[in-house]
Amino acid sequence: MTGNVKESRDDRLFNWINYTILFLFTITVLYPLIYIFSASFSSASAVVSGKVWLYPVDMTLEGYTAVFKHPLIVTSFLNSVFYTVVGTAFNVVLTLMAAYPLSRKDFMPRNVIMALFVFTMMFSGGLIPSYLVVKGLGLIDSRWSLIIPAAIGVWNMIIARTYFQTTIPDELLEAAQMDGCSDFTFFRRIVLPLSGPIIAVIALFYAVGHWNQYFNALLYLKRQELYPLQLVLRDILVQNEVDSSMITDVADAVARQGLRELLKFSLIVVSTVPVLIIYPFIQRHFVKGMMIGSLKG
């Protein structure tokens, strides 16, 4: 039986310093998010004049109304959903299929194959050779140009491989083999059900990557109807492109400038919310998978 341990003066001082630093860090991280969220619900004049700093001023949905009036927003949003869902499923399947054999001690060429994977992390052909490969495969201006070239992430594969090595004991495989279980059946019926945390980790990594991608789309896509949301967002944020149909009076330069500023915040919220919604549901698996997957390589 143990009693409560009394903290010394130095311990209390140390804890207060930690709490203060963590509080300041939290404020530093949260304030930009709060500001963007508040600005997206404020009027254009309040945003341009700098009246918004913590909470919405002259609350309005004008920014979100303008967002969904953009001819490409809804289409690009659905495209991003497609790229994220299909691309993540494709990535996760290939990553697990590569990681599991490389985690098996009885797979003799695993070290050579692993060295080849690691080599690709350090050296690449470059932008032009990559474009020529995609062009040679006939994927230019195709949805698959954003999925197939990024089929597998070596770092994610290494994390999954480490997870299998530390979580799936050899004795479990031996017992299954004695019962006549094939490698594929063992992987499907035993390994996968035990790999929820690492699947959540790599799925989140891949999903965020697909959701935020715009550079590959900028290179490989020509038709606007195939653009992901982030590419449309880039056009508005970087090039300040605003369709004239978004405002009632095209000649009103002040309204146009205010709408540009308001659109930036509204689009950031629209493009960020889906990821923020998904994360809390897999946070528990994410933390566990990251801890186990990084124990040893």
pLDDT for 245 equals 52
Q: By the 8 A CB rule, do 60 and 42 touch?
A: yes
Residue 223 one-letter amino acid: R
Please write the tens of the pLDDT for every residue from 118-150.
898 888 778 888 889 899 989 999 999 999 988
**Segment 44-60 mean pLDDT:** 79
- The mean pLDDT value of the chain amounts to 81
pLDDT for 120 equals 86
pLDDT for 253 equals 52
- Burial readout 239-268 (b: 16 or more C-beta within 10 A, e: otherwise): eeebeeebbeeeeeeebbebbbbbbbbbbb
Name all domains of the chain by residue range, CATH numbers in brackets.
66-297 (1.10.3720.10)
Percent of the chain's residues with pLDDT above 70: 84
Show the tokens assigned to 145: 């140009």
Residue 170 pLDDT grade (very low, low, confident, very high; cuts 50, 70, 90): confident
pLDDT for 296 equals 47
Report the predicted TM-score, pTM, of the whole model to 2 decimal places. 0.77
pLDDT for 249 equals 47
Residue 240 pLDDT grade (very low, low, confident, very high; cuts 50, 70, 90): low
**Segment 31-40 mean pLDDT:** 86
pLDDT for 251 equals 41
pLDDT for 248 equals 47
- Measured between alpha carbons, how far is 258 from 242 in angstroms, rounded to an integer? 11
- Measured between alpha carbons, how far is 260 from 274 in angstroms, rounded to an integer? 23
pLDDT for 85 equals 93
pLDDT surpassing 50 at residue 297: no
- Measured between alpha carbons, how far is 44 from 259 in angstroms, rounded to an integer? 6
Kindly give, in sequence order, each residue whose CB lies less than 8 Å from that of residue 44, ignoring residues fewer than 6 positions away.
62, 63, 255, 258, 259, 261, 262
Please write the tens of the pLDDT for every residue from 175-187.
888 888 888 888 8
Nearest to 92 by CA among 156, 171, 168: 156
Please write the tens of the pLDDT for every residue from 198-214.
888 888 889 988 998 88
Q: Which residue has the tokens 């540009």?
A: 260
Kindly give, in sequence order, each residue whose CB lies less than 8 Å from that of residue 263, ignoring residues fewer than 6 positions away.
63, 66, 67, 236, 242, 246
- Measured between alpha carbons, how far is 102 from 111 in angstroms, rounded to an integer? 8
**Segment 75-79 mean pLDDT:** 90
pLDDT surpassing 80 at residue 284: no
